[in-house]
Amino acid sequence: MPTPRMAFLLLRGRLGGGYIMAEIKCIGIITSGNDAPGMNSAIRAVTRAAIYNGLKVKAIYHGYKGLIDGEIVEFQTQSVSNIIQYGGTILKSSPSKEFKNPEGRKKAYENLVKEGIDALIVMGGDGTIQGARIFAQEYDFPCIAIPATIDNNLCGTDTTIGYDTALNTIMQTVDKIRDTATSHSRLFFVEVMGDGAGFLALNSGIAAGAEEAIVPTIEVEDDQLKHFIQKGFRKTKGSAIVLVAANEQTGGAMHYADLVKSEYPDLEVRVSIIGHAQRGGHPTAHDRIIASRMGAASIQAILKGLRNVMIGIDNDDIVYVPFSRAIKENRAIDRNLLDILHNISI
């Protein structure tokens, strides 16, 4: 067995002119927000890396709501056996309006103290990390975040857990839609998730050989859509696929389908909304690997005395991204990728 390592955290307060060193003996793990394939792989890595380094692990069920309600269970190595291959999260997730107010966060903090949890590792997207940032500031409590969202919209990391699996799910679905589109010479608008970011729509469009991708972060005028239909669909192809990022403001795929139907009533137009299937399924090897790396890195961050940082991957290296940067704004879409899509879809 390895020699247990003690994690220490440099607190902000002073005592007699010196800093207080608080020993971290127990960490809590929580998954919040929408589930993402690979979360279980990360839970496994966090649990086992913590135990390997002499730390106690306590799992919090049902997200921040469970933290408020005290749904906390101690995990052992065997608690995470045979979960790496499953999608979703064994810790469950649940929205919590109560955690958004000070009274709810106070209950959460009291439960952490009661359970002897000295640091918190949270997994989720921008909402999860925002909640952790506020909580950490209010109670000077050490929090480390692991980015787990199919949207891939967090700054400071090249990819997030779940994104690759969702991308592959979309690609495989579009491949099947292509068969019927070709058979009937139809124009399909396929709507995918992405929380307004557009990464799934653009990159799955490239992977699936789509003719166009409509993403909310790149302005799409009506005449651009008309240009695609007149120059692309009508003159060179008998069928076409357009990937559309779900967007409440534009109305998503239905909006563009209705627009085309009104302008070109002779076209066979169909809409397919993939929906929540994108968030499920066995995580890909890529997602399992980055989840394992990020999970282990979160424990290393604790051992180094870091706090209020998100684990990221930059050029295949593990990096520590301050919460303020990770959720400052959505990542920008690379316009060059859209140009590539246009160039190779002629």
- Residue 239: per-residue pLDDT: 85
Looking at the fold, whether 142 and 27 belong to one and the same domain comes out as yes
Of 244, 279, 314, which residue sits at a domain end? 279
Looking at the fold, whether 267 and 289 belong to one and the same domain comes out as no
DSSP 106-135: HHHHHHHHHHT--EEEEEESHHHHHHHHHH
Looking at the fold, whether 30 and 100 belong to one and the same domain comes out as yes
- Residue 232: per-residue pLDDT: 62
- Residue 272: per-residue pLDDT: 97
Residues serving a catalytic function are 151
DSSP 145-156: EEEB-TT---TT
The identity of residue 192, as a single letter, is V
The percent of residues above 70 in pLDDT, for the chain, comes to: 87
Taken in order 309, 312, 314, 318, the sign of the CA dihedral is positive
Q: What does the alpha-carbon distance between residue 287 and residue 282 come to, in Å, rounded to a whole number? A: 10
Looking at the fold, whether 124 and 169 belong to one and the same domain comes out as no
- Residue 17: per-residue pLDDT: 35
Looking at the fold, whether 140 and 181 belong to one and the same domain comes out as no
Of 279, 300, 316, which residue sits at a domain end? 279
Looking at the fold, whether 267 and 321 belong to one and the same domain comes out as no
- Residue 220: per-residue pLDDT: 59
Q: Average pLDDT for residues 43-67, to the nearest whole number?
A: 98
Q: Is residue 79 a part of any domain in this protein? A: yes
Q: Is residue 339 a part of any domain in this protein? A: no
Rg (CA), the chain: 23
Task: Tell me the residue range of the domain where 257 lies.
Answer: 163-279
Confidence of residue 25 (pLDDT cuts 50, 70, 90): very high
- Residue 222: per-residue pLDDT: 55
Query: Burial letters for 62-90: b for 16+ Cβ neighbours within 10 Å, e otherwise?
Result: bbbbbbbbebbeebeeebbeebbebbbbe
Looking at the fold, whether 201 and 75 belong to one and the same domain comes out as no
- Residue 1: per-residue pLDDT: 41
The domain that contains 148 carries what CATH number? 3.40.50.450
- Residue 287: per-residue pLDDT: 98
Looking at the fold, whether 20 and 143 belong to one and the same domain comes out as yes
Q: Is residue 334 a part of any domain in this protein? A: no
Supply φ then ψ for residue 115, to 5 degrees. -85, -5
The domain that contains 262 carries what CATH number? 3.40.50.460
Give per-residue pLDDT as tens, 302-330.
999 999 999 999 999 999 999 999 987 76
Q: Is residue 220 a part of any domain in this protein? A: yes
Q: Average pLDDT for residues 261-276, to the nearest whole number?
A: 92
Give per-residue pLDDT as tens, 148-191.
999 999 999 999 999 999 999 999 999 999 999 999 989 999 99
Q: Are 60 and 50 in contact (CB under 8 A)?
A: no
The identity of residue 309, as a single letter, is V
Looking at the fold, whether 156 and 168 belong to one and the same domain comes out as no
Supply φ then ψ for residue 144, to 5 degrees. -120, 135
Confidence of residue 334 (pLDDT cuts 50, 70, 90): confident
CA angle 184–190–195, rounded 5-degree value: 180
The number of domains in the chain is: 2
Looking at the fold, whether 254 and 215 belong to one and the same domain comes out as yes
Supply φ then ψ for residue 173, to 5 degrees. -70, -45
pLDDT higher than threshold 50 for residue 56: yes
The percent of residues above 90 in pLDDT, for the chain, comes to: 73
Among the listed residues 251, 153, 261, 244, the one whose alpha carbon sits nearest the alpha carbon of residue 204 = 244
Q: Are 338 and 202 in contact (CB under 8 A)?
A: yes
Q: Is residue 331 a part of any domain in this protein? A: no
Q: Are 148 and 58 in contact (CB under 8 A)?
A: no
Q: Is the pTM of this model over 0.95?
A: no
Neighbour tally for 345: CB within 10 Å: 19
Looking at the fold, whether 289 and 217 belong to one and the same domain comes out as no
Q: Look up tokens 């779900």; give the residue.
A: 246
- Residue 247: per-residue pLDDT: 84
Q: Is residue 345 a part of any domain in this protein? A: no
Looking at the fold, whether 103 and 116 belong to one and the same domain comes out as yes
Give per-residue pLDDT as tens, 97-144.
999 999 999 999 999 999 999 999 999 999 999 999 999 999 999 999
- Residue 54: per-residue pLDDT: 97
Q: What does the alpha-carbon distance between residue 251 and residue 270 come to, in Å, rounded to a whole number? A: 15
Q: Is residue 341 a part of any domain in this protein? A: no
Q: Average pLDDT for residues 215-228, to the nearest whole number?
A: 65
CA angle 8–12–17, rounded 5-degree value: 100
Q: Is residue 340 a part of any domain in this protein? A: no
Confidence of residue 16 (pLDDT cuts 50, 70, 90): very low
Bigger pLDDT: 116 vs 341: 116
